Structure formats: C-alpha cells, structure tokens
Amino acid sequence: MLKSDDGKTVSYWEASEDLIKKDSLIESIETDICIIGAGISGLTTAYLLTKAGREVIVIDDGLIGGGTTSRTTAHLSNAIDDRIYRIEEWHGEEKARLAVEAHTKAIDEIERIATEEKIDCDFSRLDGFLFKADDGEDDLDKEFEAAQKMMQVERVERAPIKDFDTGECLRFPRQGQFHILKYLSGLAKAVEQNGGRIFSNTRAIEWKGEDSPEVKTANGQTIKAKSIVLATNYPIMSKMFAKLPAYRTYVIGARVPKGSVEKALFWDTADPYRYVRTQEEAEHDVLIVGGKDHRTGQEDDANRRFANLWQWTKTRFPMAEEILYKWSGQFFETHDGLAFIGRFSNSEPNVYLITGDSGMGMTHGTIGGMLVSDLILGRENAWQEVFEPSRLATQSIKEAIPEIVSSTVPYVDWITGGDVSSVDGIKNGEGAIIRQGASKIAAYRDENGKLYQRSAVCTHLGCIVRFNSLEKTWDCPCHGSRFGIDGHPINAPAISPLGEIEESSN
C-alpha cells in the first residue's frame, strides 16, 4: 500500500484506495501553467484549465492526494463551519451570500465532474444536521435566522439518530459526501487525458513571479511558466503564517451494522465541534467521527482525544462496535472563516494561491480551482472579492489576539531544558528533545533501536519543534510546520529539512 507522507496513521481513504505515484520530474521544462500541489485544490484547477485547452504541469512533493487531502473526512457542506451568522457579521450579508453560493456551487461542481468523467467515487447527496452540544453554544436560533436568508434550511424536532435525542436542530438539504481518493484518482486521469502532466515526488523549493515566472525543484530542475498556482496546504514562500494558524484534528472510523446509522452529515455546536458521517462497506458501514482539534505542536495527547471521541460516539451511536481506523490531519484557519484564494500579490499578478481551508477543505479546494482557473482564463468571477487573499481580517481583534499570542509563546522552549538528558532515556518508538549547549536536538529511536537526530530548530522562523507521538513527526508549535523523523519537511511554512547534527553512535 502506498501511503501518505503525513504521518504514521492510516486514514480510511488510504486504507481503501491506493494513492497514485507518478514519475518524478527529471528535466527542466516550460509550460503555460505550473501548479504546485496535487491535492483537491491543485487537481481541480488543473482539470478546469486543461479542459479549457491550456497546457498544465502539476508537481507534488509526495503522491497524488498524499498530503492533507488524504486526511479529510470528505464532508461536502455549504453550511459554513464558523456559522453563517458570524460570516455575515464579519463580511456583511452580500458577501456571506456569495460565500454560501460558492460552497453550494462547489458541491454541484464535484457532482458534475464525477458524472461527466464517470468517476466512481461514492458521491451522494444527503441532509446535514446541526445540533446543540451538551458542552456547546446555544446559537441555533441565530444561525437559523441568518441562514434562511441565503440558503435552504429548516428547523426539525431532532436529528435522525436512532438512539440519541439531539433536541431541536437545523436541517440543511443537498449536502454531499464522497470518497476523496477515488475522486482524485479520476480527476488525475481526466487531467492527463486532457493533456496535462503530473509529477510526484517533485518538491518545489522556490518560485518567482513578475516578468519571468519559474519554479525551482529540490532536484535542481526549473519549470518556466506563464502562471504559477500555489495549491499546497500552506503556500510556500509566503509570509501568511500570522493569518493562518495551524491545527490538528482527530478522526475515528468505527464499524457499525449496515444501515444502522442514517446516511447524513451531523455536526454539533461544541468548540471544537464534532463531525459525523458514514461510509458504506460491503459487510458493514463505517461511522466516521472527527473533532478534538488543537493548535499544531501544542499538545501531544492523541490517545486521550481518541478515547474522548469514542466515548462521545458510544453514547450517541451505541451500535458502534469497534474502532477500525484512527488518524489525524492538519488544517489552517483564517481569522474570518473563509479561505484565501486569488492573486498572490499586486507585484506578482501571475502567481495564484489557494489556502486557509478553515476545516472545509473539500469545498474550499474546489472553489479554489473554479476561481483561480477563471482568473487565469480572464473570466469574471463574482467570488473574487470574497476570497481575496489581501483582504483585511474583518474578525474582531479580540478574537485574533489569542491566536497570535499562541504562535509566540512557544519560543520560550529556547530557554527550557530538554525532555530527557541524553539519548539513553529514549525508548524504541519514542522521540524527545535534548538540550545540547545553547541549542536543542530532536532525537527519535525507531522500533528497531536506530537513532535519528536532527537539529530541533524549525527551519521556518526558529521555534523549537515538539514530538508528535501519534504520527511520529516533529511539529512546530508556532506556525504548524511539520517534519519527518529524518528531518524532511512535511508541511510548510518551512520548506527546508531540520538541520543535520553529528549523530551519536547509539
């Protein structure tokens, strides 16, 4: 099984569909459009541009869909996570309406592409239900009032969960769900049929726009292009980290008897909220439940979070028999609930970005493909201003400040001691930070006792990384960069590996 580079755990999608590997780029080339990132954002953009007859090259540092896209739960919703009433408060009614329209059209677009390209990706339409959590805000009235102005929504007595009375909740019709890796596999095939080229294991390390746009790869090739699209989860070589706090989220997939849970999307008002859907298998269904998010690198208690999700699940879905899958994923929040999609800057108008999925990566990624392809093709798009990357954060400063403080406090790790005093204190399968003079070492011992040591200094802006014992990665608590145990970069903003040190002989 080819697996994503994102960490040790295996998502349901990876377990049930092979990730696709393409050839690496081995020579410098020229093209019309170079897209960095072969997740849902990059491949949707590539699909729409190749369909319009443009010459496109897509590169990815791993496998097709092997980044954050493979860690989703593949909900498709137009009921924006941050709530419609907050989107209206932050952006005004007209822009909120356009944002809802964009998410609605994104679901339509996925359905259209899957139908036209005959992609067998388990796409289905279903209702979504938002209900009040015991430990959550009671804001259903406010949400209903705002949502009814711009989308289909109704109050219902309870969500259709057999053994659990949710109380009055909101029903959003015509939501969707699909199998993301089956969809990406079909999308990649369609891109190639349209003449596009896709290269995996090809890491972009540098780009420039202006008069002679080009992308440089870690292997020394140059891709000259008229337009560049940054469709990585976090746009490399950008300085948006203060506007894009990184989070980890946790997911369990439990066996339930066939048909025992209504096929629908469910989510509650807790913060962070829980989100639920089912996926059909031949002999049983899989109940997929996610939540328990935290800032990347700032907690390392995945087992407690999984146990909490399981306990919550068993209380509401007692038919859940056992946990079959556990995984975690990364997402980037914006301060105002909507992704950043559009031109990178005024001085580099031929570079585009799609980022800030805000927990709605499937629809935001698809909106990104639709909007950026329109911009490149010179078509009007009414959503341009709504998702404009240079927009001022409209969220109140009161709400943004805790995020900024949270990105700064971890620098204190520079003056603290290590987790252990020497590598002798590290057991097989564990990682720890060791102080060495003025600096710190990130040390990991694998299951066979082999020791890996790298500098613990994040190559983005110098925070000290922390061990993620679930995924066996080094995660940066400041802005969410992540590195493998051998130091290779997994998630930007950092794009260089953790520094080398002289390894001990253990």
Query: Please, what is the minimum distance in Å from the beta carbon of residue 493 to ligand FES?
Result: 5
Shortest spacing between CB 410 and ligand FES, in angstroms: 8
Positions in 204-243 near ligand FES (CB under 6 A): 241
Single out the segment in contact with ligand FES by CB under 6 A; choices: 159-167, 329-337, 338-346, 460-468.
460-468
Only segment of 206-214, 281-289, 448-456, 474-482 that touches ligand FES (CB under 6 A):
474-482
Please give the Cα distance from 51 to 63 (Å, whole number).
Answer: 23
Q: In which region does residue 364 sit, left (phi positive, over 0), alpha (psi from -120 to 50) or beta (all else)?
A: alpha
Under rule CB under 6 A, which residues in 73-112 are in contact with ligand FES? none
Q: Look up residue 407 and give its two tokens.
A: 């990105």
Minimum Å gap between C-beta 201 and ligand FES is 23
Shortest reach from residue 480's CB to ligand FES, in Å: 6
Q: Is 305 in the site for ligand FES (CB under 6 A)?
A: no
Q: Which is nearer to ligand FES, 366 or 407 (CB)?
A: 407
Q: Which of residues 364 and 479 has its CB atom nearest to ligand FES in the complex?
A: 479
Instruction: List the one residue from 132, 182, 343, 460 that touches ligand FES (CB under 6 A).
Output: 460
Query: Contact with ligand FES (CB under 6 A): which of 169, 370, 458, 498?
Result: 458
The span from the CA of 3 to the CA of 9, in Å, is: 9
- 478 makes contact with ligand FES (CB under 6 A): yes
In 3D space, the residue among 321, 237, 231 whose CA is nearest the CA of residue 285 turns out to be 321
* Residue 495 CB partners (closer than 8 Å, separation 6+): 203, 205, 236, 237, 459, 489
Name the segment binding ligand FES (CB under 6 A); options: 99-107, 428-436, 443-451, 455-463.
455-463
Q: Of 31-39, 114-122, 177-185, 471-479, which segment contacts ligand FES by CB under 6 A?
A: 471-479
Q: How far is the CB of 476 from ligand FES (least distance, A)?
A: 3
Q: Give me the sign of the Cα torsion angle 11, 12, 15, 18.
A: negative
- CB of residue 212 to ligand FES, shortest distance in Å: 29
Euclidean distance between CA atoms 444 and 506, whole angstroms: 11
Closest distance to ligand FES from the beta carbon of 412 (Å)? 13
H or E element at residue 196:
none
Is the N-terminal amide bond of 497 cis, ω within 30° of 0?
Answer: no
How far is 396 from 412, CA to CA, in rounded Å? 27
Q: What are phi and psi of 207, to 5 degrees?
A: -145, 155
**Structural contact between residues 18 and 483, judged by C-beta atoms closer than 8 angstroms:** no
* 493 lies in the binding site for ligand FES (CB under 6 A): yes
Rg (CA), the chain: 22
Residue 473 binding ligand FES, by CB under 6 A: no
Among 50, 77, 355, 481, binds ligand FES (CB under 6 A): 481
Q: Contact at 8 Å (CB) between 59 and 34?
A: yes
Nearer to ligand FES, 231 or 464 (CB): 464
Residues 6+ apart with CB under 8 A from 102: 363, 367, 370, 371, 383, 386, 387
Pair of tokens at residue 336: 């105002």
Q: Shortest distance, CB of residue 464 to ligand FES, whole angstroms? A: 9
Amino acid identity of residue 139, one-letter, is: D
Crossing angle between the packed helical segments 361-376 and 40-51, to the nearest 10 degrees: 30
Nearest-angstrom CA–CA distance, 131 and 139: 10
Contact residue for ligand FES among 12, 309, 479, 485 (CB under 6 A): 479
Residue 245 found at the interface with ligand FES (CB under 6 A): no
What are the angstrom distances between the C-alpha of 50 and each of 185, 377, 396?
16, 11, 41
Dihedral sign for Cα atoms in the order 83, 80, 331, 2: positive
* C-beta of 147 vs 490, nearer to ligand FES: 490
Tokens for 101?
């329209």
Q: Cβ closer to ligand FES: 153 or 494? A: 494
- According to the binding rule CB under 6 A, does residue 463 interact with ligand FES? yes
Q: Which is nearer to ligand FES, 144 or 340 (CB)?
A: 340
Provide, rounded to whole angstroms, the least separation between the CB of residue 330 and ligand FES.
12
**Residue from 15, 324, 461, 501 that binds ligand FES (CB under 6 A)?**
461
Give the shortest CB-494-to-ligand FES separation in angstroms: 6
Q: Which of 181, 476, 490, 498 binds ligand FES (CB under 6 A)?
A: 476
Shortest Cβ distance from residue 292 to ligand FES (Å)?
A: 22
Q: Is residue 295 at the binding interface for ligand FES, with CB under 6 A as the rule? A: no
Residue closer to ligand FES, measured from CB, 277 or 454: 454
Contacts of 211-217 with CB under 8 Å at 24 or more apart are: 213/34, 213/348, 213/350, 213/351, 215/34, 215/36, 215/59, 217/25, 217/59
Q: Which stretch binds ligand FES (CB under 6 A): 250-258, 309-317, 358-366, 476-484?
A: 476-484
Give the number of residues written for the chain: 506
Q: Which stretch binds ligand FES (CB under 6 A): 8-16, 124-132, 424-432, 472-480?
A: 472-480
Residues that bind ligand FES (CB under 6 A): 241, 458, 460-463, 476, 478-481, 493-494
